[in-house]
Amino acid sequence: MIRTIVGANWGDEGKGKVTDLLAASSDVVVRFQGGANAGHTIINEYGKFALHLLPSGVFHQNVVNVIGPGVALNIEALLSELESLTARGVPKPQLVISDRCQVMMPYHIDFDKFEEERLGKSAFGSTKSGIAPFYSDKFAKVGIQVCQLYDRELLRQRLEIALVKKNCLLEHLYHKPPVDIDGLIAHLTDLAEKIRPMVCDTTMLLHRANREGKTILLEGQLGSLRDPDHGIYPYTTSSSPLAGFGCVGAGVSPRDMTDIVCVTKAYSSAVGAGPFVVRLDGPEGDELRRRGGDAGEFGATTGRARDVGWFDAVATRYGVMVQGATEIVLTNLDVLGYLDEIPVCVAYELDGERITDFPATPLLSRCKPVYTKLPGWKCDIRGVRSFDELPDACKAYVAFIEEQCGAPIRIVSNGPKRDEVLYR
């Protein structure tokens, strides 16, 4: 059985909590794309954690956590994240790294920073963790795979090829010092030794686990609208956060993917640049931002204030569709308990016409939200233990979102903690 957890929107939907929850009934949890550029917030018996690169199964001793070949592996970030867990009393997790995974280089991070600086006002809102330069190199075939770190001669040859162009750009475009290849090789060799016991052929491991009937959980980062093909290009990320890509980035067969669990919040939030039709400015937005999430809507990796707005059913319906969701998990429902009426964006107005299909990026900046208002429930639903005990208006809100999104909502989250979930 292979379950995939992905985001329906712009990221930060609460996937970390859902993955942590479902990890308890999984044997293997796999990261299949992205890198240390986004964060999952997990609150459990050990405390509050922001995981960036580690799979969310690391709090469960019986779970094998896998960094799949599709991930941008920042070895130093991974090691320091591991250390920060054990320093806080979490037992050392089972973790394996694909030998085909590619390595985030220090120069990828530098190039990300230098390029955002160069672009100035037209910058993409990158988290400057090297993701775009990393994936550019991967597809230009000048990336370095983990397995290549253990062959010094091969590593030198590969780096020599890559560095000709890098150093030319560093010197002439960014006016920075060139990369010293000997220093870089020494640094990479040192890191390679530290992860050596964890490196293996994870593709074989996953296929074997699947044949043995184990439960595998693929964990996506970000969400549908950050997909380079189907999202709000160019305000996207550089690897696909779609469940379909999960098969590729993890290394499992699409035939075996049984459940696609799409996570969305009961309102909308987005961080970084790019169009966001339901953005709320002013005091209404400030209040929602302050009340959102577990401690306000601020990025888990960057601390940046997230844009917030009412539930965008146009974007979410599209996000759920491109993920191919078999079910939806609705998170942060408790946050809306202060409202008399809750607006939901059911359509966009584009040049005087009402549209319900999410359009291509250039049209989004001309779209205005069309809202329907639903009655609020005016009470705190944290602490409610079963779906049936929720106020009627709250249940009606969930049913409305389900109808708008076109996939069943089976799990509702009514607080940031692991046990704050209601099964419908």
4 binds ligand GDP (CB under 6 A): no
Q: Cβ of residue 165: shortest distance to ligand GDP, in angstroms?
A: 34
- Of 36-44, 132-140, 176-184, 275-283, the window that binds ligand GDP (rule: CB under 6 A) is 36-44
Helix (H/G/I), strand (E/B), else coil: 367:
strand
State the distance between the two ends of the chain, measured CA to CA, in whole angstroms. Answer: 22
Read off φ and ψ for residue 258, nearest 5 degrees: -100, -45
Q: Cβ of residue 99: shortest distance to ligand GDP, in angstroms?
A: 27
Q: Which of 9, 12, 33, 93 binds ligand GDP (CB under 6 A)?
A: 12
- Of 8-16, 118-126, 198-206, 278-286, the window that binds ligand GDP (rule: CB under 6 A) is 8-16
- Of 6-14, 233-241, 311-319, 388-396, the window that binds ligand GDP (rule: CB under 6 A) is 6-14
Read off φ and ψ for residue 21, nearest 5 degrees: -65, -50
Q: Residue 272: which of 301, 241, 314 has the closest Cα?
A: 301
226 binds ligand GDP (CB under 6 A): no
Helix runs in 293-376, H state only: 313-323, 361-364
Our CA dihedral for 344, 278, 322, 355, rounded to 10 degrees, sits at 80
Residue (187 or 382) nearer to ligand GDP, CB: 382
33 binds ligand GDP (CB under 6 A): no
230 binds ligand GDP (CB under 6 A): no
Residue (4 or 331) nearer to ligand GDP, CB: 331
Q: Cβ of residue 80: shortest distance to ligand GDP, in angstroms?
A: 19
- Of 10-18, 235-243, 344-352, 403-411, the window that binds ligand GDP (rule: CB under 6 A) is 10-18
Environment class of 302 (CB within 10 Å of its CB; exposed 0-12, middle 13-18, buried 19+)? middle
Total residues at the site for ligand GDP (CB under 6 A)? Answer: 24
219 binds ligand GDP (CB under 6 A): no
∠22-288-371 over CA atoms, to 5°?
Answer: 95
Q: Tell me the sheet residues that pair with 29.
A: 65, 217
Residue (41 or 148) nearer to ligand GDP, CB: 41
∠408-401-385 over CA atoms, to 5°?
Answer: 70
Binding mask 298-337 for ligand GDP (x = CB under 6 A): --x------------------------------xx-xx--
Dig out the tokens for 283 from the structure. Answer: 């005091």
For 261, left (φ over 0), alpha (ψ -120 to 50), or beta?
Answer: beta
State the Cα–Cα distance between residues 238 and 124, nearest whole angstrom. 12
Q: Cβ of residue 334: shortest distance to ligand GDP, in angstroms?
A: 5
- Of 156-164, 235-243, 293-301, 359-367, the window that binds ligand GDP (rule: CB under 6 A) is 293-301
Q: Residue 102: which of 151, 135, 55, 133 has the closest Cα?
A: 135
246 binds ligand GDP (CB under 6 A): no
**Residues tagged active-site:** 12, 40
State the Cα–Cα distance between residues 99 and 320, nearest whole angstrom. 32
The amino acid present at 24, given as its one-letter code, is A
293 binds ligand GDP (CB under 6 A): yes
34 binds ligand GDP (CB under 6 A): no
Q: Which of 16, 93, 231, 274 binds ligand GDP (CB under 6 A)?
A: 16
Interface ranges with ligand GDP (CB under 6 A): 7, 11-17, 38-41, 43, 293-294, 300, 331-332, 334-335, 413-416
